Amino acid sequence: MKRILLLFLIGISIFAASAQTLKKQNQILKDSIGVMQKVIDEKSSANTVLTQENNDLKNRNALLKAGKDSLDNAHKVLLTNYENLSSENTSLKDSLFIYRGENKKLNEQVDSLNTSLVNLTNEMNAKLDYLAKQEKIWSRRKYFNIAYGMPTLDRGKGMEKLNSDFAIALTRGNTYYLHKQPLFGMLKFGLDWSFFDIAAARYKEKSNYLEEDGDIYKAEIGMQIGPSVTINPVDFLKINVYFRYDPSYSAMFNTDGNDFNGNYGSYFNTGLAASYKVISLGVEYRSGTTSLKIDGEKQEWKVSGTYLYISFRL
C-alpha cells in the first residue's frame, strides 16, 4: 500500500512536474506561435510589398521591353539607314573619285584653254599691231611733188635742140590701191591719179631780131593717170614705180617776137620714188609732143627730160 501510495505520489509528482513542464512548453509554444505569427504577418506584409514591387518591376520590365523593342526597331531603322548611308557614301566616294578625275581633266583643259587664250590674245595683239602698222604704212595715199628738171626741147626740121636753163613741176594727186591687203605682206598694185600737174621750163635760143639771146618759155598743164606698183620691204620704207599718161594743154611763149602759141599735147611720165612716212624722194622721166603752128608752119615740139623731186605723202 505504501509502495502503491509511494508510487502514486511519485506518479503525481512526476505528473505535476510533467504538467508544469508541459505548461511551460505550451507557453513557449504559444510564444513561439506568436513570434511565428508575427513573423508570418511581417512576411505577409513583406510579401505584399514584394508583390507590389514585383508588379512594379513587371510593369517596368514591360516598359523596358517595350522600350527595348522600340530601340531595337529604331536600331534596325538606324542600321538600315546606316547601310543606306554607307552605300551612298561608297557611291559618293566613287562619284568623288570620278569627279576628281574629271575635275583634273577640266583643270587641264582650262589650263590648256587659258594657254591657248593667252597665245590667241598675243597673236591677236600682234595681228592688231601689225594691221595698225600696215594701216599707217599704206594710209598715206595723197602726194604733193615739187620737182626740178633738166628737159630738152626738140623742134624738129633741123632746128637746134635746146636745153633748159631751169624747169620745175608741181604735181598733186592720189594713189588708189586695187586691193586692201598687201600681197606677200609687202606688195600693192594701184592706180595713180594726179588731178593737178603743171610743168614749166625756160630755154635759150639765139634771137633773130635782138643782139641778146631770146627766151622760150614752155608750160604744160594737165593731169596724169596710170598704174603703179608699191613695195614695202621694211618698216615704213616704200618704193614706188609708176607709169602715167599725162594729157595736157601745152603752151609756149617766145620773147623773140613775142610769139604765144598753145595746143593739146600727149605726155608720158615714168618714175621711181622711195618714201619713208611723210617724206619721199623720186626721179621721173617726162616726154611728150605738141603740134604748134608757128609762122604758118606746123612744128612738132618734143619735150623730154629727167626730173628730180621731193614729195610729201599725207
Query: What CATH number is given to the structural domain containing 151?
Result: 2.40.128.90
**Same-domain status, 68 and 160:** no
Dump pLDDT digits (tens) for 52-109.
Answer: 877 777 787 777 778 777 877 877 887 888 788 788 878 878 887 787 888 888 889 8
In a domain? residue 286 = yes
Dump pLDDT digits (tens) for 2-45.
Answer: 666 666 666 666 666 666 776 777 777 777 777 777 766 776 77
Out of 188-202, 215-229, 245-259, least confident range:
245-259
CB atoms under 10 Å from CB of 191, counted, come to 15
**Same-domain status, 102 and 193:** no
In a domain? residue 127 = no
pLDDT band at 171 (very low <50, low <70, confident <90, very high): very high
**Same-domain status, 216 and 305:** yes
- Record the pTM: 0.65
Range of the structural domain that residue 212 is part of: 142-313
**Same-domain status, 153 and 249:** yes
**Same-domain status, 101 and 148:** no
- Asked if pLDDT for residue 211 goes beyond 60, the answer is no
In a domain? residue 135 = no
The pLDDT value given to residue 52 = 80
The pLDDT value given to residue 16 = 63
Please give the grid coordinates belonging to residue 288. Answer: 611728150
Please count the CA atoms within 13 angstroms of the CA of 235 that sit on its side-chain side.
5
User: Which residue(s) pair with 287 in the sheet?
Assistant: 268, 304
Please give the grid coordinates belonging to residue 294. Answer: 608757128
In a domain? residue 133 = no
Backbone phi, then psi, for 52, in 5-degree steps?
-65, -45
Domain boundary among 90, 112, 134: 112
**Same-domain status, 106 and 151:** no
**Angle 267-272-277 from CA coordinates, rounded to 5°:** 125
**Same-domain status, 300 and 193:** yes
**Same-domain status, 308 and 252:** yes
pLDDT band at 122 (very low <50, low <70, confident <90, very high): very high
Q: CA–CA separation, 291 vs 301, rounded Å?
A: 6
Q: Tell me the longest C-alpha to C-alpha distance in the chain.
A: 241
Please give the grid coordinates belonging to residue 80. Answer: 538600315
Closest listed residue to residue 186, CA positions, set 118, 151, 234: 234
Residue tagged 611733188 (cell numbers): 145
Q: E-strand spans in the chain?
A: 142-154, 162-177, 187-205, 214-234, 237-254, 259-276, 279-294, 297-313
Q: 3-state DSSP call for residue 19?
A: helix
Contact 174, 142 (CB under 8 A): yes
- Chain centroid to Cα 141, Å, comes to 33
Dump pLDDT digits (tens) for 290-311.
Answer: 999 888 889 999 999 999 999 9
pLDDT band at 208 (very low <50, low <70, confident <90, very high): low
Amino acid type, 105: K
Domain boundary among 112, 134, 156: 112
- Asked if pLDDT for residue 236 goes beyond 90, the answer is yes
Dump pLDDT digits (tens) for 259-286.
Answer: 899 999 999 999 999 999 999 999 999 9
The total number of structural domains in the chain stands at 2
**Strand 162-177 relative to strand 142-154, pairing:** antiparallel
What's the average model confidence in pLDDT over 111-139? Answer: 90
**Same-domain status, 210 and 276:** yes
Please give the grid coordinates belonging to residue 287. Answer: 616726154
In a domain? residue 120 = no
In a domain? residue 119 = no
**Same-domain status, 228 and 288:** yes
Q: What is the DSSP code (8-state) at residue 183? A: B
- Which of 43-52, 155-164, 230-239 has maximum average pLDDT? 230-239
In a domain? residue 304 = yes
Amino acid type, 3: R
**Same-domain status, 107 and 217:** no
The pLDDT value given to residue 19 = 63
In a domain? residue 136 = no
**Same-domain status, 204 and 248:** yes
